[in-house]
Amino acid sequence: MAGPERNERNTGNSFEGTRAFQSDSPSLNRKALTKLLTRQLKDALDLRRIDIGVDQEECRHIESIVGALVANRACVKAKAIPGEECLPFYEEDYDGTFNCSASQHLPRMISGFEPPSSEQIRELEEWRFSDKRRADFVYGTMDPKDVALVQSVVTALKPRAIFEFGTHQGILTDRIMQVAPEEAVMFTLDLPPDEFDSAALRVDKTNRSYVKHSKEEMGIYVSEEYEDRVIRLIGDSMRFQPGPLEGKMDLVIVDGGHQYLVAERDISNAWAMLAPGGVMLIDDYNTKRTEGVLLAVLLHRMETGEPGYLVSFYGDLETDIVMFIKPGE
C-alpha cells in the first residue's frame, strides 16, 4: 500500500469528482466520471489487501470516492412485503423463508420488475453449453434460471453500486454489467484456488470440488468493455472488512463459500454494505450439499426479523436464490 503522498493526491481528485457528480450541468458525462472515479478507487485499493476498513485515513479517502460514485443518481428502492402476503398459511411467528412468486410478488417489492422469460433462460443455457470450457465450469456456477432472475432484478433496480461475493469465472459479473446502468460500478471478491490452504477457515473437500478454474481463469468472462467499471478484490472473505462501503451498495450478491461460517460472515457483511431499500440476493439456499448457506440464511432471518423470500417462477420452478431487502427510507 502506497504512502500518504498517493492518498493525498487521490483524495483531491475524488473531491473534485464528488463536486462534478453533484453538479446540475446538462453537459455532465456521468459515464466518463464513473470511469475516472473507478480508476481512483482501484488505485486506492491494494487488491492483495481486503481489510479496507482498518486504516482511518484510507477509509475516509475510499468513502469519499464511493460517495461520489453514488451521489445524485437515481436508484429504485425496494420495499419488503409481509411474508404472510406471499402465501396465506404462513403464521406470524414463522421464522423460515417465504416462497414468493417472481410474477406476483416481486413487482410489488421492486417497481418495474418483470420476471425473465423462458426464452431468456434458454438463451443463457445455450450460451453456457455452446463452449466446452464454459460447460466444464457449470458445477459451481450459478444456474441459468438464477442468472436470469438476477438480471431482471438489476434491470428494475437500476443499482449504482453492486458488490458480489464469489467472482468465479465472472459469468454472473458480466451478465449483471450487461443490464446495469452505464454508470454503475461493481465490486467482486474471490479467493484464488492457490490460496485455499492459507484461508482463515480451512476450505473443505466439498467446497473445493465446486472450483474447476485456475487462478488465471478467475473472472475470464468479464468483457473488456466493463473492466473499467469492475473492481476486483482478491482475498479471503473471512478477512474482509467492508468499512467505507457500509451503507453504500444498492445490490449485493452472496455466492461465495458454502461453509456455514463463511456464508454467515458474507451475509453479515453484505447486509452492512446495503443502503436502505437495497437488495441482497443469496444463492445456493435450495441446493444439495450447501446446508451451511441454508443455516446462515435462517440465522440472518431470525437475528434481523426481516423476511427472506425464496423466489420461484413458471409454476413450481424454484430458483436457489433467497432475497432480503434492507429496511429504511
Predicted confidence (pLDDT) per residue in 53-64, tens digit: 555 676 777 778
Q: Say which CATH topology domain 83-325 has.
A: Rossmann fold (3.40.50)
Q: Are 84 and 268 in contact (CB under 8 A)?
A: no
48 with 234: CB under 8 angstroms? yes
Please write the tens of the pLDDT for every residue from 211-239: 655 555 666 778 889 888 888 887 788 88
Give kind and range of the element (H or E) at residue 319.
Answer: strand 317-325
Output the pTM of the full model: 0.82
Q: What is the mean pLDDT of the chain?
A: 78
Provide the b/e sequence for 200-238 (b: ≥16 CB within 10 Å): eeebeeebeebbbbeeebbbbbbeeebeebbbbbbbbbb
CB–CB of 41/62 below 8 Å?
A: yes
* Whether pLDDT at 209 is above 70: no
Instruction: Tell me if residue 141 falls in helix, strand or coil.
Output: coil
* pLDDT at 51 (0 to 100): 54
Which pLDDT value is given to residue 39? 79
Residue 247 pLDDT: 92
What's the pLDDT at 110? 96
Question: Domain segments of the chain: what residues?
Answer: 4-70, 83-325
pLDDT tens-digit map of 245-295? 899 999 999 998 888 888 999 999 999 999 999 999 999 887 777 788 999
pLDDT digits (tens, 9 = 90+) for 162-204: 999 988 778 899 999 999 998 899 998 887 766 666 665 666 6
Query: Quick one: CA torsion of 249, 75, 145, 170, rounded to 10 degrees?
Result: -50
